[in-house]
Homo-oligomer: A and B are copies of this chain.
Amino acid sequence: MSTAEIPRHGIATVCLSGTLEDKLTAAAAAGFDGVEIFENDLVCSPASPARIGGLCAELGLSVDLYQPFRDFEAVPPDVLAANLRRAERKFDVMEQLGADTMLVCSTVSPDAVDDDDLAAEQLHLLAERAAARGLRIAYEALAWGRFVDTYDHSWRIVRRADHPALGVCLDSFHVLSRGSDPAGIRVIPGEKIFFLQLADAPKLHMDVLQWSRHHRLFPGQGSFDLAGFVGTVLGTGYAGPLSLEVFNDVFRQADPRRAAVDAMRSLLALREPLDGDTLPPAPELSGHAFTELAVDEAAEPVLAGALGALGFTHTGRHRSKPVQLWEQRDARILLNSAPREHARDGGADVTALAVESSDPVASARRAESLLSPVLPRETGADEAALSSVAAPDGTAVFFCRTGEAAPGSWREDFSPTGNATVAGTGITGTDHVSLTQPFDNFDEAALFYRSVLGLRPEQATEFAAPFGLVRSRAVSDDSARVRIALTVARLRRGDWAPRVPSPQHVAFTSDDAIACAAALRERGAPLLEIPGNYYDDLDARLAPPGELLATLREHSVLYDRDETGAFLHFYTDVLGGRVFFEVVQRLDGYTGYGANNAPVRMAAHRHPHA
């Protein structure tokens, strides 16, 4: 695709929170080329349509669509007359705005009749009125339209109406939510597709109207095949914008400046398989290099003590910053005690995760192309220039190469402590990092890790935890060498309850979790006690062999089993207010995270010494 043919990027104002002026400013700042003006946003604005049109022009935004116009077609003559009057009033607005296309949704009105000929005849009339004013009508089948609820039906009516100012509007949600095959779009001439609206969505079993109005997502955040859909539409010769129309309860109240960036990132990532070389490809990732914790004065000795008890050795001191490197085999933790301007919830936080990249510079370039904020970093003269970007929750993501011989390795920034290596406890590396997300940024984070790092998001799951519903979604590379688990309290998280942390944790790998737990207990590591009731229930549910059960119980090791394999894991107490560690052992290719056991852990973290 040549540059001239690159589709323009659009967004409906209904995607974003705030007043119309907030929304337009945010869309322009994120780099959108055009907007769909959602009627209610205009109605609420103190600025006249002409002034809004002028503001769009100043911001470099074209007004690509005015929407929605509802319940027009297939009605008795008196209703038609009223509807045409209503349309003319809206044409007045569009002229002032500088919008040339109006979206007309298929009717849901009790006044309408099931008569395609009548619908076509009346839409022809509307298109005639529009054409007289230099405007066009894009007719869209709502998935819950009363008579017209599929794109092919809307196209049959548009073809029958046969007016140059009448075409269809295709909306990926309305097509894909019904399970319609988009292949049939290929019979529609591209110039008769007047507009293309894009939305992703999670698979939900619910009323399609409620699904559409509350749970749409930006492309790449849900489970629709948007790339296939857009490819089919572009194949018709459609040359209009790729325009997002996402109704989402979270985005409706989130900062529109961030949501607009998230939206633009979704379009850039969506275009990658279509346009080829628009983005630097995602270099292969081969593991977790290190995880950095910021610690305050009180938390530092707690974390250092715990790492020592876990069998880590304090091997390095940063050459210019108050940062300790702790290692055990391929598991590495940095403790950073530099004062911070914006400490989050506690005295210890996960502030950075570092992944091994086959090409750190290319990883950072890709991140930047996908609108990730590149983090400034003060680097000493002989220190590695580490590339890092900010994830949506503020966590720094570093791209690095740890291999001793690798030039520019981050390890060169550390001078050896000379400490004798502690006898290890069987921890071999990092399995995953688990980050509790701010409420507004959960779906944004999944898209960030998917698009920027090239990781694959799993389906989101929800579970009832002791202090409220928790949603969880993991992302990992195809070889599962980099795993990040994202969680969020679905509503809030038991504000009433004291000592309920909003925790983050690092999970280490072990080849023998039980031996590791035994060794750690021996060393006095602050391990989390698991209630006996858990093991009684485990016995009833999964009936592990009696000896295994006794051992699990003795060492407070949890167990899970599913169709992919089995899982042994155990936890430390919460350390320094917010952070804890986990040790996991995956058997027979188990791919999960022991989510069934998470409520037990959460309750136990409230009762550490019960």
Contacts and interface: CB of A to CB of B under 8 A. Distances in A.
Given A43-B600, A45-B533, A496-B254, A469 B206 contact: no
A492 B19 contact: no
B603 A19 contact: yes
A269 B532 CA distance: 40
A79 interface: no
A48 interface: yes
A402 to B, nearest CB: 38
A181 B189 CA distance: 54
Interface stretch (A84-92, A220-228, A340-348, A408-416): A84-92
A489 to B, nearest CB: 7
Given A46-B531, A89-B539, A253 B494 contact: yes
A281 interface: no
A42 interface: yes
Nearest to A535: B43
Interface in A567-610: 599-600, 602-604, 606-607, 610
Contacts of A604: 44, 46
Contact of A466 (B44, B439, B531, B533): B44
B17 A467 contact: yes
Contacts of A159: none
A253 B17 contact: no
Interface in A34-86: 39-49, 82, 85-86
Contact of A533 (B48, B207, B214, B536): B48
A18 B533 contact: no
Interface residues of A, number: 70
A533 B491 contact: no
A93 B543 CA distance: 16
A80 to B, nearest CB: 15
Nearest to A19: B603
A602 to B, nearest CB: 8
Given A18-B467, A86-B540, A492 B532 contact: no
Contact of A17 (B205, B207, B497): B497
B496 A89 contact: no
Tell me how many chains of this kind the complex includes.
2
A533 B42 contact: yes
Given A48-B533, A253-B489, A496 B17 contact: yes
Contacts of A532: 48
A244 B48 CA distance: 54
A531 B464 contact: no
A237 to B, nearest CB: 35
A377 interface: no
A529 B45 CA distance: 11
A247 B469 CA distance: 11
Nearest to A211: B206
B490 A249 contact: yes
A568 to B, nearest CB: 18
A464 B252 contact: yes
A383 interface: no
A493 interface: yes
A467 B41 CA distance: 11
A214 B494 CA distance: 16
Interface string A250-294: 101111100000000000000000000000000000000000000
B46 A529 contact: yes
Given A43-B531, A541-B86, A253 B22 contact: no
A202 interface: no
A608 to B, nearest CB: 10
Nearest to A468: B253
A210 interface: yes
B45 A249 contact: no
Contacts of A606: 19
Contacts of A529: 46
A253 B467 CA distance: 5
Contacts of A492: 253, 439
Given A468-B252, A536-B89, A536-B93, A44 B531 contact: yes
A45 B468 contact: no
Contacts of A256: 496
16 contacts: A14-B464, A17-B467, A17-B494, A19-B466, A19-B606, A42-B533, A43-B533, A46-B604, A89-B539, A206-B207, A249-B490, A250-B491, A252-B464, A253-B468, A255-B496, A491-B491
Given A14-B464, A46-B607, A439-B491, 20 more contacts: A19-B607, A22-B497, A40-B464, A41-B466, A42-B533, A43-B533, A43-B534, A44-B603, A46-B533, A89-B536, A92-B536, A214-B469, A249-B490, A252-B467, A252-B469, A253-B491, A253-B493, A253-B495, A254-B496, A256-B496
